[in-house]
Amino acid sequence: MKAAAILWLRQLKRYSRSRARMVGALGQPILFLISLGFGLGPTFARAGAGDYLQFLAPGVIVMGILFTAVFSGIEVIWDRQFGFLKETLVAPVSRLEIVLGRTLGAATVALIQGVVVFFICLLAGFRVTAAPLLPLALIFMFLIALVFTAIGTAIGSVLQDMQGFPLIMNFIVLPLFFFSNALYPLRGLPGPLAAAVRFNPLTYGLDGVRSAFGRASQFGVTTDLAVLGGLAAVVLALGSYLFSRIEL
């Protein structure tokens, strides 16, 4: 597993060296946190639903993870033509080891990004009420990162060029985010939307993260872990399979 380890390390080195990318990826979650958190906060409070910022913060943290993760997976398209990926594809190492090192590395980067957003949320007024459960929050955040890196890798392995990228963003990534419980609570949603949100695996990830931060869980932590863990195993297998079939 030496090859997987050095490919994992490579991702971390790249992340720590490109400040612009790091800061750039923070822009979107911060924008959501400030505009929605403070903008909708009063309305949310008047409706008797409590402090919106406390509800929204985990959603914004997951957003940071989601976009970093999907994007690094999709980078496969670019990387196999002009980048270092080609070098790994002709190396005497199994494709499985390459895709594992790459995926774990990208997921770790996405997790770090999520932790950075977490600290920004704390600055904005987010409060954690169950500090001992923080490791559990990290586990959920990592599983979410893993799931979406693997989905990105699967997509990146199949697409031939970047033209399909907006399609992926608008019809897969954004719907997953907007039709989850990231921005609004599940309670009282109209039927079809409620069904979509309940069907969305990200909802269970968010439920897990929220309960680890000290809010009441809707489905129970065990269910959340089972759904997310099961999904991670499936998409990881799928991503690895599609990656191993890449031809140049």
Decide whether 164 or 214 has the Cβ nearer to another protein.
164
- Give the integer Cα–Cα distance in Å for 153 and 236: 9
CB of 95 to another protein, least distance (A): 10
49 token code pair: 């639903």
Site string for another protein, 56-85 (x = CB under 8 A): ---------------------xx--xxxxx
- Give the integer Cα–Cα distance in Å for 60 and 76: 26
Single out the residue of 162, 174, 195, 234 in contact with another protein (rule: CB under 8 A): 162
Site string for another protein, 181-220 (x = CB under 8 A): ----------------------------------------
Q: How many residues make contact with another protein (CB under 8 A)?
A: 29
- Give the integer Cα–Cα distance in Å for 100 and 84: 16
Decide whether 21 or 215 has the Cβ nearer to another protein.
21
Helices (H), the chain: 2-17, 19-39, 41-46, 52-74, 76-82, 85-89, 95-124, 134-158, 165-168, 174-178, 191-199, 201-212, 221-244
Nearest to 142 by CA among 56, 228, 22, 237: 228
For residue 24, state whether it binds another protein (rule: CB under 8 A).
no
- Give the integer Cα–Cα distance in Å for 78 and 204: 32
CB of 89 to another protein, least distance (A): 6
Residues that bind another protein (CB under 8 A): 2-3, 6, 10, 13-14, 17-18, 77-78, 81-93, 160-163, 247-248
